[in-house]
Structure 1
Amino acid sequence: MLIDLLRHGEPEGGQRYRGCGIDDPLSETGWAQMRAAVQANAASWDHIITSPMRRCREFAEALSRERGIALSVEPGLREVGFGSWEGRSPEVIKAESLDEYLAFYNDPVGARPAGAEPLDAFARRVRLALAAATERHARGHLLVVAHSGVIRAAITLAMDVSPAALYRLRMPYAALTRLRVDERGMSVEFVNR
């Protein structure tokens, strides 16, 4: 089984933390990024699974209609909640509290923004969503349209490393990552293509 994980393109509203509390649609640039990504990686997907959030779901629905590929919406693939950082840009957070910003990236498990989803709970949610998808679509080639946090969590799951490593991975807009599931378990084929 192959699982292609496609990060959404650039959303409207510029660079800011959009966890599961901000649901901006894709910008025109974001739509173009997504279209270019699926053209450059023209795979024959058997099924599309998407986060319920607009920046993922609207493109996945359009691709499903255009290519005649069945689509499922998976609530467990929504982005990690950023609590008090939702809707705020990294520049604003750094300007207001550089110590808090740096603490988060040095210890993303213990120094979460106020009200943020616990990282271990988020990683567990993504693991369960992926396990359900692989069970339902065994031996298929899936396209999962999701968020940088979800893709990072999937990579750390495949590599059997702590969720604390999530933010060490850069995840550009509309980048494609591929996981393989076989008799040896889950492995990473490539990241950010």
Structure 2
Amino acid sequence: MARRFIVEADGGSRGNPGPAGYGAVVLDPATGEALAEAAEFIGTATNNVAEYKGLVAGLRAAHALDPQALIHVRMDSKLVVEQMSGRWKIKHPDMKPLAAEAQRAFPPDRVSYEWIPREKNKHADRLANEAMDAGKSGRQWEPRDSRAALDAGPARSSAARAADAAAQASETSGSQATATVGWGASADLGAPATFVLLRHGETALTPEKRFSGSGGTDPELSAAGRRQAEAAAAALAARGTVQAVVSSPLLRCRETAEAVADRLGLEVRIDDGLRETDFGAWEGLTFAEVRERYPDDLNAWLGSSKVAPTGGGESFATVARRVAVARDKLVARYAGRTVLAVTHVTPIKTLVRLALGAPPESLFRMELSAASVSAVAYYADGNASLRLLNDTSHLR
């Protein structure tokens, strides 16, 4: 049975036209729980444009949770509801492309619409106003749970848990959205959100091929690693395409990210979802040492993405759910832009695997060198395209 979501969306303009923003929330219809939120300051626009953009954002957020769901949209914009329901003609030239974008964001035959009074649309209205307030201060809106992540550590919001469920489905069925669309199908959807994925430079543990995750000693870059970070920074600065930098909270990634950000004149945003797997009791050991000490546990881990390392580590399935949550938030935040994500082996391989719709065992079939660059583009219809994998040309 298809999952069902409620999408509530709103948009506002302080001047009509004037400084504008939108907000959208995906709700569980049974519990009323907020599963995902989206908001953005969009510059000078009309109320109608902002409301349509809120609808598009809400449908994209629902698509990220489950592209096969049934969606019931509730908005206090009579215009958007009637036009998207097909009862009113879309005459204004600014509305036609936005309506078409909404239809691409989620299959129209799986979406229904309902008008509600403004007082029943308070959640989306609040998000839209938060976005406009952020824009007034020269900032973009950030989800509350991502702002809290720096203080809360691994604790996750209800939205993250819901998105985790969608990623869990992909562990067994692959990426449904990607699998159903052929090459070139996303060419008319505008500029994608492009992730340039940079693995951190070497640490003292890297050349020894020791397990080094988020549960170990958090090593710094070695001298070789710092040289690699500078080489990557120079290459990325020469390309001139990176518009933002995000990083895992672990030291080796922050040091690598700062080398690039300094070259580009950008700040580094920390995203806890990009941290490496916690390898539990295997942290700091070589593969051979793990094989000797924990042979049965290692065989079970190699045989199933749902098995965690010895001593309370994370399974690859758990990491995939965490990474998918981070991916979806970053795609929404950097739609149409290029963001550098400085992270680790497992998160990068996971993003590649999910983009390709590949099975979990593909994680063991990819080479990913220290300070290598990969790239994945994410389009408005939810599809992804792998553009680069394990480029180390800047290190030679």
So what's the TM-score if we normalise by structure 2? 0.46
Percent identity between matched residues is: 32
Q: Which residue of 1 aligns with 2:389?
A: 191
Say what the alpha-carbon RMSD is for the aligned residues: 2.0
SS in 1 for 2:330: helix
Return the offset for 1:21: 1.1
How has the CA–CA distance of structure 1 residues 152 and 10 changed in structure 2, closer, same or farther, with 3 Å as cutoff? same
Larger Rg: 2
Q: Which residue of 1 aligns with 2:230?
A: 35
Return the offset for 1:141: 0.8
Q: Which residue of 1 aligns with 2:194?
A: 2
Return the offset for 1:102: 4.4
Separation (CA, whole Å) in 2 of partners of 1:21 and 1:111: 13
Return the offset for 1:111: 6.4
Q: Mean Cα displacement is larger for which, 11-20 or 148-157?
A: 11-20
Is 2:212 aligned against 1:15?
Answer: no
Is 2:349 aligned against 1:152?
Answer: yes
Return the offset for 1:71: 2.0
Return the offset for 1:103: 4.2
The amino acid that maps onto 2:215 is: G
The amino acid that maps onto 2:288 is: E
Is 2:258 aligned against 1:61?
Answer: yes
Return the offset for 1:4: 0.5
Separation (CA, whole Å) in 2 of partners of 1:40 and 1:61: 14
Is 2:373 aligned against 1:176?
Answer: yes
Q: How many residues align?
A: 193
Separation (CA, whole Å) in 2 of partners of 1:98 and 1:37: 38
The amino acid that maps onto 2:264 is: R
Return the offset for 1:118: 2.5
Separation (CA, whole Å) in 1 of partners of 2:310 and 2:386: 30
How has the CA–CA distance of structure 1 residues 2 and 67 changed in structure 2, closer, same or farther, with 3 Å as cutoff? same
Contact kept, 8 Å, 2:213 with 2:277, in 1: the verdict is yes
The amino acid that maps onto 1:20 is: S
Q: Which has the higher contact order (CA 8 A, sep 6+)?
A: 1
How has the CA–CA distance of structure 1 residues 32 and 2 changed in structure 2, closer, same or farther, with 3 Å as cutoff? same
Contact kept, 8 Å, 1:3 with 1:178, in 2: the verdict is yes
Q: Give the gaps of 5 or more residues in structure 2.
A: 1-192, 392-396
Separation (CA, whole Å) in 2 of partners of 1:121 and 1:110: 9
Q: Mean Cα displacement is larger for which, 79-88 or 9-18?
A: 9-18
Separation (CA, whole Å) in 2 of partners of 1:46 and 1:154: 20
Contact kept, 8 Å, 2:298 with 2:309, in 1: the verdict is no
Return the offset for 1:153: 0.9
Question: Any idea what the Cα deviations from partners look like across 1:10-30, whole Å, max 9, x if unmatched?
Answer: 112443111111210110111
Q: Mean Cα displacement is larger for which, 73-82 or 86-95?
A: 86-95
SS in 1 for 2:346: helix
2:285 corresponds to which of 66, 71, 88: 88
Separation (CA, whole Å) in 2 of partners of 1:94 and 1:154: 27
Contact kept, 8 Å, 1:123 with 1:163, in 2: the verdict is no
How has the CA–CA distance of structure 1 residues 190 and 142 changed in structure 2, closer, same or farther, with 3 Å as cutoff? same
Q: Which residue of 1 aligns with 2:339?
A: 142
How has the CA–CA distance of structure 1 residues 107 and 118 changed in structure 2, closer, same or farther, with 3 Å as cutoff? closer
Contact kept, 8 Å, 2:196 with 2:376, in 1: the verdict is yes
Contact kept, 8 Å, 1:104 with 1:113, in 2: the verdict is no
Contact kept, 8 Å, 2:377 with 2:387, in 1: the verdict is yes
2:330 corresponds to which of 133, 142, 156: 133
The amino acid that maps onto 1:73 is: I
The amino acid that maps onto 1:191 is: L
Separation (CA, whole Å) in 2 of partners of 1:16 and 1:33: 19
Q: Give the gaps of 5 or more residues in structure 1.
A: none
